[in-house]
Amino acid sequence: MSDGDVSRVIVFHAADTTKKQASALAASFPKSSSLFSDLKTARVQGVAMSYLREADRTNAPLTFPNLGITLGFADSATLKKLNSLPEVSYATRAPRLGHIRPVRIAAAAAPTGLTWGLKELGIAQLWKKGLTGEGVMVGHLDTGVDAKHPALKGRLAEFAEWDLMGRKKDKASPHDTDQHGTHTAGTICGVSVRGHSVGVAPGAKLCSGLVIEGGDTTARILGGLDWLVGLGVRVISMSLGYPGFDAVFTRLVDILVSKNIVPVFAIGNEGPNTSRSPGNYPKSFGIGAYDEDGKTALFSGSEHFDRKDSPDKPDCVAPGVAIVSAKPGGGWQEMDGTSMATPHVAGIVALLLQAKPDATAVEIQKALLDSSDPIQSEPPLRWGRGKVRPLEALNVLTGTAAPAAAASRRKRAVKSKRGRKK
């Protein structure tokens, strides 16, 4: 056995796999420590020997029952054997996920009334209709959250943390290991603080999982997703991924959508002709960013794929430049990135779900895409279907036609898109 042949392996269970079969499957993996002969070769794979000893002691690999997934270390022979088992749908090497870092972070004063993003999206009009996200639980996988921040007071329904090996910690207390998580959480559901509003859905409840950064991020993120599926959330905000396109997690996104969950992913901050997985998958809701001038942000990713379903990413764009939101420890902070656009859309989904709780994940995404507003002065690939328009999406979702002007703009943009050269 060659140490260089060893990798992290993700196994998708067959649809009818029982709990007993899943346990037997996990037990069929070789001991992690037996796959690496010394610390040097383990480090080549980004694995510490202390991790492997602990993994063996705690009966790794990890099984995620709500997702129907097992994650462990294996060599090529074991991988081939796994793919031959009847309880295995598919097994392959697993890429390493990580969060999408903001392009810019700056100190900020409290917003005057609503942030520019909330004003641009017309969020106050939905609040006037009684839509605040009340009764909706929003999943949030990030660096954690400062639940004591005034804007997030009373918003946290559930909090969990996964250790560096991907195991769920007992009795975790809400905290943010960085700044990213509190900022994105504030955009999703922050409440008004002395007249300052940063959150799209201030009535929604947050289910926040601390899964990044550091350690086995793939295991931690899968653990967070498994937890959120078990809680019954209907939308998950994920400003994370890995550069480029890799189809490994396509099945994972399919699983989420099949469970009626809207998976909202940041498309990435590497600019035109780039994107991040899983945000660039056909069934993912991949979100790009635009600025106060209504232009797609220069850093916002966009890419065309040679496939029939959803060939262009992002799907749409949302405010993602100079976004003011909550800062850990109190106060406010401004950030740029598709990571900032993503929680705006997750919050909008919460508003739509309050309006129509029985709407499917596919119906929600379709309503948002069909009502998006094209950016006429730019190539369509940069903005997908356009800028999200929550009020128009609500009209589409509840059976009222989108305003004629917006429909006309979309028709012209579609014509332009068809004439586009790759």
* 7 C-beta neighbours (distance < 10 Å), count: 17
* Per-residue pLDDT, 123: 97
Active site residue 258: no
* Per-residue pLDDT, 76: 86
Provide the token pair at 135. 């009764």
Give residue-wise pLDDT tens across range 260-274. 999 999 999 999 999
Active site residue 312: no
Domain spans in the chain, listed from the N-terminal domain onward = 3-94, 99-417
232 sits in the region (left: phi over 0; alpha: psi -120 to 50; else beta) called: left
99-417: CATH homologous superfamily?
Peptidase S8/S53 domain (3.40.50.200)
Pairing of strands 332-336, 104-108: antiparallel
CA atoms within 13 A on the CB side of 79: 18
pTM, rounded to two decimals: 0.90
* Per-residue pLDDT, 100: 81
* Per-residue pLDDT, 50: 66
Active-site residue, selected from the candidate residues 32, 33, 142, 277:
142
C-alpha dihedral (415, 418, 421, 422), degrees to nearest 10: 130
Active-site residue, selected from the candidate residues 302, 339, 371, 372:
339
CA-based nearest residue to 340, from 152, 104, 136: 104
Active site residue 180: yes
* Residues with pLDDT less than 50, the chain: 1-4, 402-410, 412-422
* Per-residue pLDDT, 332: 97
Pairing of strands 62-64, 88-93: unpaired
Pairing of strands 235-238, 156-161: unpaired
Question: What are the residues facing 272 on neighbouring strands?
Answer: 302
